Amino acid sequence: MSAVPSKQTPDMPSAETVEERFHRLEATWLAEVGYASSSTALRSHPAFQEIVGLGEAVVPLMLRDLEERPRLWVWALPRITGADPVPESDRGNIAKMSAAWLRWGREHGYRW
């Protein structure tokens, strides 16, 4: 007797790509805390932490988002890259912080 079932099981859905996971987590994060004014609440959310945990693979995705409009990825990028290209005078200004990260990305060969 065979221990393997004779009935075929349906194919498992393909694994989520890094980009799909990034966008799913981003949607969760924004839906749950996107309205918050506390940067601590935004940065401590589990979805944000999971995005940061995706590491270097999401840097081009974040830079692409920053190019479309200033975003809060300026808080995740230093944690992922270890870099901090934002001048002290621009801290707190999301538009200027985004521009600094875009310059940094180009200087470091990122394509998005």
What are 77-109's pLDDT values in tens digits? Answer: 999 999 999 999 999 899 999 999 999 999 999
Question: In 3D, which of 86, 84, 89, 17 has the Cα closest to residue 57?
Answer: 17
What b/e sequence results for 58-91 when a residue is b if at least 16 CB atoms lie within 10 Å of its CB, and e otherwise? bbebbbbbbeeebbbbbebbeebbeeebbeeebe
Instruction: Report if pTM > 0.85.
Output: no
> What is the residue-averaged pLDDT of the chain?
88
Token pair recorded at residue 23 = 């966008």
